[in-house]
Each structure stands twice: as structure tokens, then as C-alpha cells.
Amino acid sequence: MQLLREGYSERLFLFTDELGRVLVRKQAKPEIQGTLLAEITWLEELPPSLRRYFPRIVRSNKGQGGQLLFYDMPYFGEDWVLLSELILTQALDRTHALALIAQVMQVMFSGIFPTTYPEEAAAYPEQLVQLLERCVVNLSRLPVFSTLVRSDTLILNRTCLWNIFPLLELLKGEKPLGRRLRPAVMRKVHGDLYPENVLVHLPSLRRATPRVVLLDPIAAIGLSRGDFAMDMAKFRSWLAAELPALRLERFSIQDEQGRIPSFTLSFHTADPPLRALRDGTLLWGFIHMLDTAQWARAVCDTDPFWQQRMHFYEALYALSMVPLVPFPQSLGRFLIGVQHLHTFVCPARGQQPILDQQRTIF
């Protein structure tokens, strides 16, 4: 077996089986409680009509009898390229990129989101708040953040925001926020939906409907059902350049001297790896798609708060990753998380321009 990739909780191996098939094995690390079992279940529950859009499970072991947890899937060779790569290298023009994004969204809105779980709706907001609280407590124990989180407020890009613990207390204490956190319907979701988890079959780009495969359902935070807004949030974060800038280390943070923690966070969208996202054409095309496409409206129109909840999910995703990534990316994710959580909890509170002396901290 050849190791292809080492993740936080899983490893990917390439191998040839006894029938001569080239396969990829996704295997859980035994020392880490990951989400691979939930991912296997998610894929196995797909109806036949949707299986062509997701990896096919050739064989699996769900960890019975102390054996390793894994599943095998076909290997996607050189004819398959990630949608993120096609976008960032500008191998596709914006019209074709938006067409592929629309194709992915139609799979989700017409195929995945219609699977609902009405019996699970009641406790969902409390579960989200508990997830957030766990993330906040974990990151507050990190030496880099233990002092930063003690302040009630911080300043980001000249805007004063409540810091993470006051935001958490407001979220726990105000009933209207709990109502906004509850989706109209609990749905099956991907959980980790963004262009880096979408494969495109290059020869099929000549067809009216290219072939796409959506990889790696189930987010690191373990959510696989609940709110379609979580999938839209992850996709929007990528198209807004937030997520790729942090991952590709195309950002800078300045620590501004003042009486409370103050930072300027900049994304380097003029750099070649991010230039395709700089003018926001794909982002606004994506938002327009959700606002106007009939297949999207059938879901979105039933839920008046879904756009506001996207900020909550972007905060939850960002803060959950803080302990898992190196500094300064961890600080960038923390600041993004606080910003989105502030927008969800108190969009009109405590925002005033602050001017201070700047110094670069890395």
C-alpha cells in the first residue's frame, strides 16, 4: 500500500486488490475518534439514483472485533481534477465554473436535502451551542489564546466586536437567538461541502452535463444531518477566499497597539493562487443562484433565517479548527470565527471605528 495523504484522523492509501482493481483505502487512525464510521453509514444510505455523484464503497470494515475502521473506493485517476484546482488555476472561465457549481448545488438541493429527520429538530439548537462551547473551552486552554480570550472585546479591522466568551453567553441567554438557530426542517447534509471536495471528470467537460463526484461527507465536527445552511456556509467561505487564503497562507495579521486586543486581518487575493476569487464574481454568482434558482427556492423559501445561520456555521467551522492548525493560521481562524459569530449574535452592537498604531506580528 502507498500512503497518499495523512489527515488529522484518517489516512488515505493507494493499492491494487486481488482482482487487479486500483483502489483507495480511507482508514481511521485507531488513536483518534474520527467521523469515518458516520461517513460509511452516510454513503451506504444513499439511494441508487444518487450514488453516481459520490464515491462507491467497494468494501468496508466498521471496526468490529477490534479491527481497523476503513472503506475502499475506486481510484479517481488523472482524468479527474478537483473543482477548486480548476477554479484557482483559471482552467475554467467563470461561466463554466458557475455551471459546475450549479450542478453540485442541484445534487444537494434536489437529491440530498429532501431527506429529512423531523423527530430530531427539537434539541438541535442546544446541540449546536454545546458544540460551540466545547470549541471555545478547548481553544481557551491553548497558551497562544489563553490571554487573548480574557478580554471582553477585541478590535478586528477597526471594528469593535464582543470576544468569544461574551458572545457565547449572549447566545446561551437570549431565546430569540435559539429560535434563529433552529432550521425549519432537519435535513441530510454533506457537512464538508466546498470545491476542494468536488471532483470533475475532465473529458466530460465537453458534454452539456459534466460528471462530478462529491467527496468526504461529514465535517470534522461530526455533523451529517441538520441544516442545509451549514453546507452553503462552507461553500460561501471558500468562494469568498476566506478558507483558501488561510489554507494557502495567503494572508497577514497585524497586531495593533491599544488598550484591548486589536488586529488587522488581510487576505492576499491579488496573489496568483487567489486571483480567480479576487473580484467576487463567483461568490456573487453563487449567492444569486441561491436567490433565484427554482431548485434552491423550494428549500430556502421555507426557512427565513437560513442566511443568518450561515454566519454561525462559518464561526463554528473556523473555531473548531483553531487547535488543529499551526500559528498564525490558528489566529486567523480565531478572528474569522469571532467576526462571524458576532455577526450572528449581535450584528448591530458595539461596532465603532478604532485607529491605532500597527505592527506586523509575523
User: What is the domain extent for residue 45?
Assistant: 1-75
Question: Is the same domain home to 120 and 38?
Answer: no
- Percentage of the chain modeled with pLDDT above 90: 77
Check whether residue 297 and residue 214 sit in a common domain.
yes
State the angle between helix axes of 306-321 and 228-239 in degrees (0 to 180), rounded to the nearest 10.
70
Distance of CA 257 to the CA centre of its chain: 32
Residues 21 and 63 in one domain: yes
Nearest Cα to 319, choosing from 153, 74, 133, 141?
133
Could you tell me if 70 and 84 lie in one domain? no
pLDDT digit string, tens, across residues 206-226: 998 999 999 999 876 666 788
Q: Is residue 360 scored above 70 in pLDDT?
A: no
**Residues 143 and 90 reside in one and the same domain:** yes
The CA distance from 194 to 46, in Å, is 20
Q: Which amino acid is at 29?
A: K
Q: Are residues 131 and 115 in the same domain?
A: yes
In 3D space, the residue among 1, 201, 175, 187 whose CA is nearest the CA of residue 81 turns out to be 201
Domain C-terminal end among 46, 75, 104: 75
Q: Within a 10 A sphere around the Cβ of 47, how many other Cβ atoms? A: 8
Q: What is the length of the chain?
A: 362
Where among 50, 75, 100 does a domain terminate?
75
Question: 110-153 pLDDT, tens per residue?
Answer: 999 999 988 777 788 898 999 999 999 999 999 999 999 999 99
Q: Which of 75, 98, 114 is the last residue of a domain?
A: 75
Residues 71 and 81 both lie in one domain = no
Residue 348: per-residue pLDDT: 61
Rounded CA separation 168/129 (Å): 8
- Pick the more confident residue, 282 or 359: 282
Q: Within this chain, do residues 184 and 213 fall inside the same structural domain, yes or no? A: yes
42 and 87 part of one domain = no
Residues 85 and 41 in one domain: no
| Predicted local distance difference test score (pLDDT) of residue 359 | 34
Domain at 8, CATH number? 3.30.200.20
Give tens-digit pLDDT for 305-357: 999 999 999 999 999 999 999 999 999 999 999 999 999 998 764 444 333 33
CATH number, domain of 327, equals: 3.90.1200
The number of domains in the chain is 2
How far apart are alpha carbons 193 and 175 in whole angstroms? 30
Residues 171, 44 share a domain? no
